[in-house]
Amino acid sequence: MILSTTPALDPGAPSPGTGSDFAELSRLVKHAGLMDRRRRYYAWKIGLNLIAFAGGWVAFAFLGNSWWQLFLAAFFAMMFTQLSFIGHDAGHKQIFRGRRANDATGMVHGSLVGLSYGWWIGTHNRHHANPNHEDEDPDVNIAALAFTRAQGSERRGFLRWVAKYQAVLFFPLLLLEGLNLHVSSVVAVWRRDVKRHKLEAALLLGHLAAYLTAVFVVLSPGTGFVFIAVHQCLWGLYMGCSFAPNHKGMPTLSAGHRLDFLRKQVLTSRDIRGGPVVDFALGGLNYQIEHHLFPSMARPNLRHAQVIVREFCARHGIDYAQCGWLRSYGFVLRHLHSVGAPLRTPTHVRS
């Protein structure tokens, strides 16, 4: 069943179920062995990613100062996203049982793409605790976009103009997401909002120095700047297109809602249909409902859990949102267009 993109769930409506529903679902999932670690899968995945990443830089040095490097810029945009997916999995303790090994893996992958692992963990955990919550989910409190009409009415100046036409501007804005991630990481480390701020500062500086050195030693200044622009913009677009279908356009929550954990996670999330290609392209985030219910579940187990979760929701009368990848963007754009509609309505001044 595909859940319609209603603007908000009634905060006063009592949950039709109890916490025991999730306990029952958890037993089914654990009994199927789906909470087991998949270390062999991650060993192959991480190994192949690192080999491909290193191979890309070897090819970069071999090509030299050539406009053909722009194809490698697109390749690195893909690799940065794939490496980010591993950092995401490590942050949820999907790879190893202990926190230390997962954090080390996340730190390394964060340094490869120039992100603060500690900043991402803090922000992402808040999102998981309260997905699509108007006040508590940082992913629905973004200055560049308005996800509710209340947010749209609060926009002023240039941001109000953006909110008016945000459906049209959505994909162009995603081109800046890579820059936003870098800047947010630097600001968090600079303000010491992360525990290991000295280590993270060294990793971010190391990434920047290595990246700029590689680019401008091999490429001329003009080609180098174009390479960086193409790489960073495509990376931001890929990252945004991977995360946007998961919750945008789904119902939002407000203070005082009475949904239990199971319904809060399911009703605000959306799964994306597809086979191995979609699984690879979206890094397992296409199983967003299962991931939100069981964040520490290893990525390759999510598709198996989907069968159990979908059937469980059907038995308990819980709307389970699932659609195709392209159709998900249609829901997102339709929702953004609807939120901006009041801002596009001409105001008439009475004499």
Dihedral sign for Cα 74, 176, 281, 118, please. Answer: positive
8 A C-beta contact, residue 344 and residue 160: no
How confident is the model over 93-132, as pLDDT tens digits? 999 999 999 999 999 999 999 999 999 999 999 999 999 9
How confident is the model over 188-227, as pLDDT tens digits? 999 999 999 999 999 999 999 999 999 999 999 999 999 9
What is d(CA 45, CA 174) in angstroms, rounded to the nearest whole number?
27
36 three-class SS: coil
322 three-class SS: strand
Position 312 scores a pLDDT of: 97
How confident is the model over 221-269, as pLDDT tens digits? 999 999 999 999 999 999 999 999 999 999 988 887 889 999 999 999 9
Position 317 pLDDT exceeds 70: yes
Residue 286, token pair as written in the block? 């296409």
Q: How confident is the model at residue 345 (pLDDT cuts 50, 70, 90)?
A: confident
Position 287 scores a pLDDT of: 97
Position 338 scores a pLDDT of: 94
| Phi and psi angles of residue 272, each rounded to the nearest 5 degrees, phi first | -115, 130
How confident is the model over 47-64, as pLDDT tens digits? 999 999 999 999 999 999
Residue 132 zone, left/alpha/beta (φ > 0; ψ -120 to 50; rest): left
What is d(CA 7, CA 5) in angstroms, rounded to the nearest whole number?
6
What is d(CA 336, CA 166) in angstroms, rounded to the nearest whole number?
6
Position 19 scores a pLDDT of: 54
8 A C-beta contact, residue 245 and residue 329: yes
Position 134 pLDDT exceeds 50: yes
Q: How confident is the model at residue 142 (pLDDT cuts 50, 70, 90)?
A: confident
pTM of this structure: 0.91
One DSSP character per residue, 2-21 reads -----SB--TTPBPSS-HHH
Position 3 pLDDT exceeds 50: no
